[in-house]
Chains A and B, each alone.
Chain A
Amino acid sequence: MVVAEIRIELKQGVADPEGQNTRKALELLGFKGIKGVRSIKFFEVELDAPAEEAKKQCEEMCRRLLANPVIQKFKITVK
């Protein structure tokens, strides 16, 4: 069995209201020196497949469900 880590993040230039609001909230809590906060989605998929095959399957998962290519990009790491 392998574990695939799938990281879904917004493409460069796409506004991230969740990240911006989280930054504001953290500053309101008194945290100083925050340069930026980005919201990122992370999935861990356990797969019964060889690493190469698992990666291919995860790419297909991203294309069919996990990422919208208009605003998001994905990165897959198989462990």
Chain B
Amino acid sequence: MKPNEIKVCVLRIEGTNCEEETAAAFAIVGASPEKVHLKQLLHQCPKEMRRDLEDYHVLAVPGGFAAGDYVRAGAILAARMKSALSKELKAFVEKEKPIIGICNGFQVLVELGMLPAFEAAISKEPQAALYTNDSARFECIPTLLKNENNGKCVFTRNLPKGKVVMFPSAHGEGKLMFSSEHERDYLNLLEKNDQVVFRFVGPDGSYAGYPWTPNGAISSIGGICNPAGNVLGLMPHPERVVNRITHPDWTRSGLDPSGEGDGRVVFQSAIDHVIGKG
């Protein structure tokens, strides 16, 4: 399979606003992304616009404020997907096709029960929450993330373990939480299943609190995958740094501004994984 044969569905509804960058990131690594409205997947549109999720190799739920973030961030899109697309989503996950949820997309996957999804592809009820940042503010800053994954996650396989990357964060509700009665067990389970993908770190690479962890997430976690490793959710935005020139320090770093940015590896890894699977 050639990269340009890989079809990526970048899902959008009213309020998503990172679909352009997310599609561009997949295009830069050679794939064929398409911005698809949820109604196209539900066939609530003219015939020629209808799309089927099963025809795509990768699904991306981009950042933004889907459905205005009303009720809770990501909750409305998640509920709509769960009620109308459950079967298709379950099949997508079980075929181990890559799914990425970035920022609001991560909130959607958590509300949907597709992350952390300890027992099934889609859990009946959410097993985690991404709640209001400890600061009670929208935090919009460059954040440093350490790759903590041992190889399970298909989106970070080209990134060496322990490597620190810079992806910008921009969210008001990114504090990963578990219910108090399950907190310790779920954290252990995440570690045991190799589901922790990124942790926020400080400039010296060590785990650090606010502002390096901008939201107060449990154990400084910034991104997790499902037990199979094909579904990734993360609060920071790798699609905003696929080119070095969009790094905030590009004039100071001395690195070639036309070179790769830190985020590109996420999209490249997924495409390489799909090619590898044939």
The B117-142 residues at the A interface (CB cut-off 8 A) are 125-129, 131-136
- Dominant SS at the B interface? loop
Binds A, one of B25-33, B50-58, B175-183, B189-197: B175-183
* B63-88 interface bits toward A, Cβ cutoff 8 Å, 1 = contact, 0 = none: 00000000110011001001100000
> Which chain B positions have C-beta within 8 A of A68?
72, 75, 111, 126, 129
Q: Is there an interface contact between B180 and A13, defined as CB atoms closer than 8 Å?
A: yes
What distance in Å separates the Cβ of B116 from its nearest Cβ neighbour in chain A?
A: 11
Using a Cβ cutoff of 8 Å, how many contacts connect chains A and B?
45
Complex interface: chain B residues within 8 A of A38 (CB): none
Residue A63 lies at the interface, judged by CB distance under 8 Å to chain B: yes
A interface size (C-beta, 8 A): 16
Chain B: minimal CB distance from A63 (Å): 7
> Contact at B134–A69, with CB atoms within 8 Å?
no
Residue among A13, A15, A65, A68 having the largest count of chain B Cβ atoms under 10 Å: A68
Q: Which residues of A contact B179 (CB under 8 A)?
A: 11, 69-71
Asked if B134 and A15 sit within 8 Å, CB to CB, the answer is yes
Contact in complex: A70, B129 (CB < 8 Å)? yes
CB distance from A28 to the nearest CB of B (A): 14
CB distance from A58 to the nearest CB of B (A): 14
Question: How far, in whole Å, are A12 and B79 apart by their CA atoms in the complex?
Answer: 25
B121 to chain A minimum Cβ distance, whole angstroms, is 18
On whether the beta carbons of A18 and B126 are closer than 8 Å, the reply is: no
The smallest beta-carbon distance between B213 and chain A, in angstroms, is 14
Given A17-B135, A17-B136, A20-B136, CB of A64 within 8 Å of CB of B126: no
Task: Tell me the bound Cα distance from A36 to B125 in angstroms.
Answer: 31
7 more contacts with CB within 8 A, not counting A13-B180, A17-B135, A71-B179, are: A11-B179, A11-B180, A64-B79, A69-B126, A70-B177, A70-B179, A71-B131
B contact set with A: CB distance below 8 Å: 71-72, 75-76, 79, 82-83, 111, 125-129, 131-136, 177-180, 216
